[in-house]
Amino acid sequence: MSVDTQLIGQYISNGKLQNFQFVEQGSFVTCFTAVNSESEKVVLIVSNSIQELQTRFDLARKLEDIDGVQKLYSLQKLEIQDSALEQLEAEYPGIFSKDSHVLTGRYYATQYNDHVRQLSLPQKLDFFRELLVLVKQVHDKGVYHMDLKPSNIMVQDGKPVLIDFGQSVTEAEVDSVLNTSAYAPKHDVYSCNVIPEKFDIYCLGNMLHEIYTGQPLQNPLTPGSKQFIQTQQQLGFTAFNMIAMMTKREQIMRSPLQIILSDLNDEFENSKLGQESNFVETNCGSYENLPVNSSPLRQTVYFLFDTDEEDSVQFCYQNWARKSTKDVIFCDDGEVLFSCVNSCEISLDENF
C-alpha cells in the first residue's frame, strides 16, 4: 500500500506527528508509525471500532506494570473534515471514517525473528525462557494473549516484548477462537470449548519446536507416529519432552508454564555445558555394560564445529552406547543416538 505521508500527517495529527509510514492492515485495525514532537518514533493503531481499541487500551492499563508488554499512551477520536475524509477514503478504502479512533503506543525496532536468528542455541533458550516468564506474568494477571507468534513479539534491550493484544481474552474458558496462525492449535480453533491458558502454551511449544527444527509443528505429536519418533530422535529427551507436553492435542494435558520453565532451565544448563565440551576424533570401539532402558539418563549436548554449523549429539552419560554399525551409535532400545561423520566420541568435562 502506498502512503501519502503528507496527506495523513495533515489530516490525522494536525501537524503534531510527522513521517508517517504504513506498517500493516489487519482485520480490525491498521498500523502506522510516525515521529512525535519529541522526535520519538511511535506506533499508531487506527480503527473504526472504538470497542476494539478500547479493549486493547484497557488491557494495556491492566498490564502496565509488566515491563515486557507494549505501552499504549492514549486513545483519541480522529477529527477529520469532510473534504479530507473523502480523500482518505479514496486512498485507503475502509480504513478511515467519521468513527475512526487512534491508539498511540511505544515503538519497538527489533522483531523476534531478526533477534533470534543471530543467537546460539543456549542464547535462544535463554531468550525463550524470558519469554515464558513474561507470558506467565501476563497469565497471572488473568490475561491470555491468544495470538502468540514471532510477529507479535518484539525485542527491547535484548528482552522480549509482547504486542498486539487484539485477540486477547480474560475468561478462563471461551466458546471459540478466530486464529489461523501457523503456531495456533488448529484442533482448538474448531473446538467449542477453548482454554485460553492452554491455547497460549501450545503456541509457545510450537515456537520452541521452531527454535530446534526451523519450523513450527504441522500437527500434534502423536505417540507411535513417524513424526513422533523422528522428532524424538532429532531433539533428545528433554527438548522433545518439553515440546510434546506443551503441544498435546488434549488441552487439559498440556503442562503448566511453571513445569516447562523448570525443564527449560535444565535444558539451558545442558546446552551451555555442551558448548564448553571438546570434540575429539578417535575410534569409538565397543562400549559394554550399557544399562537397560537408559532413556532417563540421556542428555542432549550442543557444540559448534569449526565451520560454525551448530549440531547436537545425544548420549547416555553414565555408560556409553555401543557402536553397532559403521559410524552409527545405537542405544539399548535400538534408538539411534548419533550418526558420526567420522568415528568419534565426545570428551566432556568430568564434572558433568
* Structure confidence by residue, pLDDT tens digits, 94-108: 888 888 899 999 999
Identify the H or E element spanning 244. Answer: helix 237-246
The pLDDT value recorded for residue 291 is 40
**Is the same domain home to 255 and 148?**
yes
Assess contact for 166 and 29: CB atoms under 8 A: yes
**Is the same domain home to 118 and 241?**
yes
Residue 290: is its pLDDT beyond 50? no
Q: Which of 238, 273, 308 is the last residue of a domain?
A: 273
- Eight-state DSSP code of residue 68: T
Q: Cell for 291?
A: 544399562
Identify the H or E element spanning 83. Answer: helix 82-91
Query: How does pLDDT run across 133-153, given as a tens digit for each residue?
Result: 999 999 999 999 999 999 999
The pLDDT value recorded for residue 349 is 39
**Is the same domain home to 286 and 316?**
yes
Task: Tally Cβ neighbours within 10 Å of residue 276.
Answer: 12
Q: Cell for 208?
A: 520452541
Residues 24-39 have a mean pLDDT of: 87
Residues 24-43 have a mean pLDDT of: 88
Q: What pTM was computed for the model?
A: 0.73
Question: Which range of residues forms the domain containing residue 306?
Answer: 277-347
**What is the distance between the alpha carbons of residues 152 and 15, in angstroms, rounded to a whole number?**
30
In a domain, 352, yes or no: no
**Is the same domain home to 93 and 133?**
no
Assess contact for 279 and 257: CB atoms under 8 A: no
Number of domains in the chain: 3
- For residue 58, name the pLDDT band (cuts at 50, 70, 90): very high
**What is the distance between the alpha carbons of residues 219 and 249, in angstroms, rounded to a whole number?**
9
**Is the same domain home to 188 and 326?**
no
Q: Which of 89, 107, 125 is the last residue of a domain?
A: 107
**Is the same domain home to 264 and 186?**
yes
**Is the same domain home to 253 and 307?**
no
The pLDDT value recorded for residue 87 is 81
Average pLDDT of the residues of the chain: 77
Buried b (16+ CB within 10 A) or exposed e, 207-242: bbbbbbeeebbeebbeeeeeeeeebbeebbbbbbbb
Assess contact for 349 and 273: CB atoms under 8 A: yes
Q: Which of 273, 292, 322 is the last residue of a domain?
A: 273
**What is the distance between the alpha carbons of residues 208 and 217, in angstroms, rounded to a whole number?**
10
**Is the same domain home to 33 and 89?**
yes
